Chain A
Amino acid sequence: MSGRFSVGEKVRVQDWDPPNEPRKPHLRTPYYIRGKIGEIERICGDFRNPEALAYGEDGLPKQTLYRVRFDQTHVWPNYAGPPQDKVEIEIYEHWLEPAAGDSSP
């Protein structure tokens, strides 16, 4: 199994917004998590990239998929619950960059 990140590593989700033209990729990274910093919870394996797969293409090369854990209070500035609450979400590797030097969350 490939993958440039390891479990426990701090990562930032890219704050991309790919244009609609010539075509909007079939994105699986919700807006609310873009630009946020979390920690790799587990490595799920390598999967065909749905951004191209959804258009009937082969989606190769495969992308490593991670589950990333975030503090809710970091994701939502107005979060009403206690500080230990988490959101965990699947993110493909090309959406992640190292965030080891960042102080937040």
Chain B
Amino acid sequence: MTDHAHLRHGVKDNHYKRLAIAVRELLIEKGVVTEDEIATFMARMDARSPELGARMVARAWVDPEYKKRMLADGSAAAEELGIAVDGTLLVVVENTEDVHNLFVCTLCSCYPRTILGLPPDWYKGREYRSRVINEPRAVLREFGTDIADGIELRVHDSTADMRYLILPQRPAGTEGWSEDRLAKLVTRDSMIGVSLPLRPDQLDQLEHAAE
């Protein structure tokens, strides 16, 4: 997997870290929230991971009716699998032979945290946020993703109350696979739209490397 160190910019700032700790301590001291509440909330956030989104994608790959419902109402489709989407609404967009989608938040760092967990640092960085909106194909190439000129590239800027999930195309050579096995092909980056899902041979390699 490529290390996108060149896309990381100014996301770690000790000043803001110290500020956040100071605010947290004040909120506890003044009785606005308790330590327990903060710990519970953090545990809830930590329990979220791209596996949730991958489950949705794998289900859509094997169940055309679920896919239809998912494209019509992403939040309802998440809840159908027991995944709560709080506050914002989830929009799922589908990659096809003719269209490739990706999402960004140019204004800040809006991200479908309830479905994908915490965003990667590069997603929050200035370079990705400014470049992917006006030279998306160049940025995708840096992620190792080549989108042919004949394909329509759609960049979704998450500016307000919607959050996005990309439904990638099901890789070739996965006929008859179980939903659980399919979900292993669905990487976080493929659901942001900067990469394609793993091919079966890439999954084989990963699993051998882990042994």
Q: Is residue B52 within 8 Å, beta carbon to beta carbon, of the partner chain?
A: no
Q: Is residue A86 within 8 Å, beta carbon to beta carbon, of the partner chain?
A: yes
The minimal Cβ–Cβ distance linking B208 to chain A, given in whole angstroms, is 37
The minimal Cβ–Cβ distance linking A32 to chain B, given in whole angstroms, is 7
B152 touching A89 by the CB < 8 A rule? Answer: no
Q: Is residue A76 within 8 Å, beta carbon to beta carbon, of the partner chain?
A: yes
Q: Which of B91, B106, B135, B157 has the most chain A CB atoms inside 10 A of its CB?
A: B157
Minimum CB distance partner of A75 in chain B: B134
B135 touching A80 by the CB < 8 A rule? Answer: yes
**B160 touches which of A33, A76, A78, A92 (Cβ 8 Å):** A92
Residues of A with C-beta under 8 A to B159 = 28-30, 89-91
Q: Which of B89, B156, B158 has the most chain A CB atoms inside 10 A of its CB?
A: B156
A65 touching B161 by the CB < 8 A rule? Answer: yes
Q: Given that A45-B89, A80-B138, A81-B137 are known contacts, is A90 also in contact with B157, CB under 8 Å in the complex?
A: yes
A90 touching B161 by the CB < 8 A rule? Answer: yes
Minimum CB distance partner of A47 in chain B: B161
**A87 touches which of B91, B133, B161, B162 (Cβ 8 Å):** B133
Residues of B with C-beta under 8 A to A85 = 136-137, 152-155
Q: Is residue A82 within 8 Å, beta carbon to beta carbon, of the partner chain?
A: yes
A87 touching B154 by the CB < 8 A rule? Answer: yes
CA distance A47 to B161 in the complex (A): 8
Minimum CB distance partner of A27 in chain B: B107
Q: Is residue A67 within 8 Å, beta carbon to beta carbon, of the partner chain?
A: yes
**A65 touches which of B133, B154, B160 (Cβ 8 Å):** B160
What would be 12 A-B contacts, judged by CB atoms less than 8 Å apart?
A44-B91, A45-B161, A47-B161, A72-B134, A80-B137, A81-B137, A84-B152, A85-B137, A87-B154, A88-B155, A89-B159, A90-B162
9 A-B pairs closest in CB distance: A90-B160, A89-B157, A84-B152, A85-B153, A86-B154, A90-B159, A28-B159, A76-B134, A87-B155
Residues of B within 8 A of A (CB): 89, 91, 106-107, 133-138, 149-150, 152-162
